[in-house]
């Protein structure tokens, strides 16, 4: 939830907060995978326009890479990363929907190497 709230409040400026006190493990060497998919939400608060998609924080700890939960709000079921995630979930029925499904789909399209310029 921390990353979701940070991205909601700071948007693309979230990475200017890297390394500052209170920003958990958000480090300058990290980055963000953002897949745009605008949404229109209707509910008790009225109509809310959410220009969002999937925002996932990529952090590096040593030689390992982790994908932290950001914002997942996709308005189309045919998104390539989500389709790949569903394929993974069908082949791994006891897997975790976020770690194996969504993150697995993202890893298929983004290798998250140090060479990627997020």
Catalytic residue among 17, 68, 78, 87: 68
How far apart CA 21 and CA 36 sit, in angstroms, is 29
How far apart CA 50 and CA 67 sit, in angstroms, is 22
Q: Where are the alpha helices (DSSP H) in the chain?
A: 2-10, 80-91, 103-109
Closest CA to 67 of 78, 55, 77: 55
How far apart CA 25 and CA 18 sit, in angstroms, is 8
How far apart CA 105 and CA 102 sit, in angstroms, is 5
Q: Judge whether 17 counts as a catalytic residue.
A: no
Residues designated catalytic: 68
């Amino acid at each position: 939830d921390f990353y979701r709230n940070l991205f909601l409040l700071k948007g693309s400026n979230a990475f200017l907060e890297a390394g500052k006190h209170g920003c958990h493990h958000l480090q300058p060497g990290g980055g963000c995978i953002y897949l745009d998919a605008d949404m229109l939400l209707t509910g008790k608060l009225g109509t809310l326009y959410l220009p969002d998609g999937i925002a996932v924080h990529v952090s590096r700890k040593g030689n390992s890479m982790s994908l932290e939960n950001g914002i997942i709000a996709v308005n189309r079921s045919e998104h390539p990363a989500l389709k790949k995630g569903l394929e993974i979930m069908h082949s791994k029925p006891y897997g975790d929907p976020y770690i194996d499904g969504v993150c697995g789909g993202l890893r298929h399209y983004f290798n998250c190497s140090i060479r990627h310029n997020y």
